[in-house]
Amino acid sequence: MIVRPERDGDQAEIFAVHAAAFGQPAEARLVDALRSTPEWIPELSLVAEDDGVIVGHVLFTRMRVRDGKAVHDALALAPVGVRPHLQNRSIGSQLIREGLERARRAGHGVVILLGHPTYYPRFGFVPAGPHGIVYTEPGHEPAFMVAELWPGALAGVRGVVEYATPFSQL
């Protein structure tokens, strides 16, 4: 299995991965909608490919953390999906680790997500609230998490998150 950036022609397979992984097409449509936004980062839309078939996908897009007039850049990790018959085989973990490393090498310092609080700490994610990073809707703690990709990346980063517009349609 290899992990590589999404290429032209992969869109239908990526849609199928997310629709199957989530049991409905909302996350797959989210990925499609994000492709046409300024928040899209082509090199951080990664697929896991096994024998020429896409079996998993992870996406990192630009987002902001706003504290009054101060705006901090961050990345959103969402969604990550693996074909159901291949789940629990570390494919998602491999995609996340590779994506975080590629994001770090590209100079990004902060990644934010809304996900399972027992799964994501293994990748360095911690609750975002204690860092002063707030989700737009209350009640998502402890699933609202943040990770810094290099020491000190979170210094001074606080405020309310602003996801790309398609996230509000999910």
Residue 99 tokens read as 């994506």
What's the pLDDT tens digit per position in 28-46? 999 999 999 999 999 999 9
CA distances from 37 to 90, 123, 163 (A): 30, 27, 11
Per domain, the residue ranges of the chain are 2-169
For residue 34, the number of C-alpha atoms closer than 13 Å in the C-beta half-sphere is 29
Mean pLDDT computed over 53-67: 98
Specify whether the CB–CB gap between 92 and 77 falls below 8 A: no
Cβ–Cβ under 8 Å, residues 37 and 61: yes
The answer to whether the CB of 159 falls within 8 A of the CB of 66 is yes
Per-residue model confidence as pLDDT tens digits over 80-107: 999 999 999 999 999 999 999 999 999 9
Residue 25 has pLDDT above 80, yes or no: yes
Please tell me the predicted confidence (pLDDT) of residue 137.
Answer: 85
**Can you give the pTM of this predicted structure?**
0.96
pLDDT of res. 170: 72
Contact predicate 57/80, CB 8 Å: yes
Fold of the domain spanning 2-169:
Aminopeptidase (3.40.630)
C-alpha span between 127 and 141 (Å, rounded): 7
pLDDT higher than threshold 90 for residue 136:
no
Confidence of residue 52 (pLDDT cuts 50, 70, 90): very high
Q: What angle do CA 119, 43, 83 make, to 5 degrees?
A: 45
CA-CA distance, 91 to 94, in Å (whole number)? Answer: 5
Residue 106 one-letter amino acid = A
